Structure 1
């Protein structure tokens, strides 16, 4: 019954009087499902919020509650949610800035638009986690002040903040103009030198594996550099030196930047780490000449990343597509191909390239027809979900390529009800096809009943509005709780049945 009620609580067709009845007897799970409803009245939202903060918080984030509905003393998490949304009251922030629970002060520190006196209080918080959270989201002026904080954890957070001024980010990288950091999370707790092993036996230890300090706070400084490299506000001239850094992780982060000078790109293209080269290969900044060189890289991940580069020359794609397993995905360069380029791709002698083109869903009708009649099943699988294909063409695909393409044909939004029934009867059965049929808006009762034989499709079909009511009622007693909840949430479930199920 518990799963039935959870499903009913999420059912968009549940009458409002039954919603009220569920609110009156809801446990935490049912209340959570009720809180996700879009049709809740304000009175219903307030009643749900009164059941516990687990429900009040998501309601606050959804805009179902106002400041007048919340008591920050008894509902601090809901108050924090409204502050996080920018609709809380300033006096709440002042109250919560001195809350004895660290996690609440930490949450507050990440909220926007805090009053200056609250920012000042949080900047001096005795727990470094609170100050670091403030540093991560605060304004340029406060970030500049916190860059001089004695704790390396706070400085690392400042380095991640995109509002931090570029000159300050440069100072954090070099250390020039800043007093040395005095502490980090490692030397706060351990005698140095110390390296935290990957198999720490202490259940209450929250240091990350590899966290280390020999007095230089090296693991935190490494993370600071990583955050600064990831930060687009960090000046390029401040980070180019990381091309020769011993850490592959930092070199890889550098390779992802969009402001790299060409000489630095060339150095990274010869990096001994395939991960660094793969990151660089997807970066449009590298230029066409370097792309031609990287197309011959010995590592398949590098070549695969190059294929995903939006500026890769179209002439490189045949070799990349045939020598590297790219998968069925729409590459950015193919998505941007001109009409003339599309025509050339469709006529390519490489099936892998035609397959990649077939992932586009805006192809001209004549190209779609040509790809739909392709002799290669991989090409046909890619084009099968393309809108606009006729039932005749879709059936021909199945008749020619069989079970290889059934699931993709079933995913076509224009597949007719009759075709979906035909696919549901296909022998041998295609289990992925059952799942596509079960979620198809045109699926018929006959097709959906066939889908119930597949365990995973059963969970999807149970929620389909076209499923016969008798089948829905049977599924309310299914052994799989996911099926039960889906059936109870089905908007076509008869109201009389809903009423009988709600105590």
Structure 2
């Protein structure tokens, strides 16, 4: 990988003529950076695909390629990219369906809007992964037909397809009305009975961890049910019957569904596995009665999951905040708090609640200022990044709490340049603070020079446009390739230096 040319390819200030020169020498890495340029012309996009066909994916996704730009005979990957975006031609799909490469046929199978004859061809493909990819993304009628496919892997893909009709998903879960599967990926490759070693040393093995088959394809049948459980189209009455299934993985996935009867949630809320109960606790469909039951759960993970419930009563949250390590994060219930609730939270005697409130970044000025003067260090750390704080307030936070808030103040978008420089000199020095300053839009050259002393902050600072041009040039030869790449991508890099990098 040529770090300098990859960085240069992403440089927003790179002149168009140098873009042309880079296209002429681009490899896969350079092409990936060039494809992301906002100023790439259609002519340049076509030239880039001609040079590195793999770049077509992003260009097609962003609408920079058209069918008229591509020859599917010599550029099958580009043709696939356009078909994936729904911008290809039907005849391309017919050509690609006969491709020798199973990988390309599988990519084609995932495309929407395929002609019926192409769909039929792919459904009969000899490679299971091609048929499975079709089954995962195809239309309801085709998915329904593939639910009876003799290979269990295809059925697993049908179970994950959200277009699969509910009655078909029910049949896949129960097995009722479908002929037994004849093969799975395990018995395709190994003599049964066989269980795949989770720590399999074979580099060419792609069987799923713990995959097993004793002739009944048991692990894939389990995976089929698991895929169907994650499918919102699966009927609630069918999936609800799995609440007592011996597989904790299935019960855990079931507990996350938002469409179950209340009695199913109640059964799952007393499950022996904390992960199952935690998913119930975070589920927005449970009622206040069950919320209060789970608030007394002995598992910290369950209570922490409950803290993230969007409809959590504030009195329950107050109890959880005092007994559970929730962390400095914006909880959904805090984000949705009404103005009156915000006022009550700010006046709470519980500092953990005030800390959680301070994670909001849209507080009324009066509330924000009250929390900025809070005597509790946790609250101070939480509010320090809130926009709108004055320089005096930010300095006061640093003076009162020192290293405990310095990195947070450095993330505040309104921290003035002079204070950012001072933060880089704070004792003891902190790498996190330097990294935050290095990415701050208001950082000065002096602050950025200080950031160069930290190896991780150096990689960020090297790309900051406020860094002096001569320093940017010097960083092009840095021993750390990531630093050199960031310098090459820096828009402050002089044009003469840019030109000197391009072969």
If the TM-score is normalised by the length of the shorter chain, which range does it land in? Answer: over 0.9
Cα displacement (A) at 1:478? 1.1
Shift of 1:493: 1.4
Per the alignment, residue 329 of structure 2 pairs with 329
In 2, are the aligned partners of 1:50 and 1:56 still within 8 Å (CA)? Answer: no
For the aligned residue pairs, the C-alpha RMSD in angstroms reads 1.4
Distance of 2:240 and 2:500 partners within structure 1: 69
| Cα offset, 1:26, TM superposition | 2.8
**Structure 1 CA distance, aligned partners of 2:200 and 2:18?**
51
The residue that corresponds to 2:213 in the other structure is 213
Q: Quote the Cα distance in structure 2 between the aligned partners of 1:43 and 1:351.
A: 60
**Equivalent residues of 1:198, 1:209 under 8 A apart:** yes
Tell me the alpha carbon deviations over residues 134-158 of structure 1, each in whole angstroms, 9 at most, x when there is no partner.
1110011111111111111111111
Cα distance in 2 for partners of 1:175, 1:24 equals 57
Following superposition, the deviation at residue 233 of structure 1 comes to: 0.5
- 1:141 corresponds in structure 2 to 141
Distance in 2 (CA, whole Å) between partners of 1:119 and 1:366 is 62
| Matched residue, 2:451 | 451
What CA deviation, in whole Å up to 9, does each residue of 1:359-409 have, x standing for no partner? Answer: 001111111111111111111111111111000000000001001101111
Determine the structure 2 residue equivalent to 1:423. 423
Task: Give matches, 1:120-159, under 5 Å.
Answer: 120-159=120-159
The 3-state SS of whatever aligns with 1:50 is helix
CA displacement, residues 302-347 of structure 1 (integer Å, 9 cap, x when unaligned): 0000000001111111221121111111000011111111111112
CA distance change for structure 1 residues 201 and 443 in 2, over 3 Å: closer, same or farther? closer
Alignment-derived partner of residue 460 in structure 2: 460
Structure 1 counterpart of 2:262:
262
- Which stretches in structure 2 are left out of the alignment for 5+ residues? none
Aligned to 1:278: 278
1:286 alignment partner, SS class: coil
Distance (Å, rounded) in 2 between the aligned partners of 1:143 and 1:416: 59
- The aligned length equals 503
How many angstroms apart in 1 are the aligned matches of 2:191 and 2:94?
37
> What CA deviation, in whole Å up to 9, does each residue of 1:64-104 have, x standing for no partner?
22222222222222211110000011111001112111111
Post-superposition offset of 1:55: 2.6
Query: How far apart are the structure 1 equivalents of 2:452 and 2:200?
Result: 47
Q: Deviations over 1:215-259 (max 9, x none)?
A: 221111100000111101011000111110000000000000001
Q: C-alpha deviations, 1:276-321, integer Å up to 9, x for none?
A: 0111100021211111111111111000000000011111112211
CA shift digits 1:450-498 (9 cap, x unpaired): 1111111111111111111111111111111111111111111122222
Conservation of the 8 A alpha-carbon contact between 2:463 and 2:490? yes
- 2:470 is the counterpart of 1:470: yes
1:201 Cα deviation after fit: 4.5
After the TM superposition, which residues 294-305 of structure 1 pair with which residues of structure 2 at under 5 Å, given as runs? Answer: 294-305=294-305
> Is the deviation greater in 399-408 or in 191-200?
191-200
State how far apart, in whole Å, the 2-side matches of 1:70 and 1:210 are: 44
Summarize deviations over 1:87-128 as a string: whole Å, max 9, x none: 011111001112111111111100010000000111111111
Distance (whole Å) between structure 1 residues aligned to residue 27 and residue 264 of structure 2: 59
Query: Could you tell me which residue of structure 2 aligns to residue 189 of structure 1?
Result: 189
Q: Structure 1-normalised TM-score? A: 0.97
CA distance in 2: counterparts of 1:346 and 1:320, whole angstroms: 17
What SS class does the counterpart of residue 318 from structure 2 fall into? helix
CA distance in 2, matches of 1:500, 1:205: 46
Give the corresponding residue for 2:104: 104
CA distance in 2, matches of 1:379, 1:373: 9
* Counterpart in the other structure of 2:39: 39
Between the aligned partners of 1:28 and 1:259, the Cα distance in structure 2 is 46
Aligned partner of 1:28 in structure 2 is: 28
Question: What SS does structure 1 have at the residue aligned with 2:285?
Answer: helix
Native 8 Å contact 2:26 2:52 kept in 1: no
Offset, 1:419: 1.6
1:477 partner SS: coil
Q: Is the 8 A contact 1:124 1:131 kept in 2?
A: yes
1:425 CA drift (Å): 2.1
Give TM-score, length-normalised by structure 2.
Answer: 0.97
SS in 2 for 1:271: coil
Partner of 1:339: 339
1:258 partner SS: coil
Structure 1 counterpart of 2:59: 59
Separation in structure 1 between the aligned mates of residue 311 and residue 475 of structure 2, nearest angstrom: 51
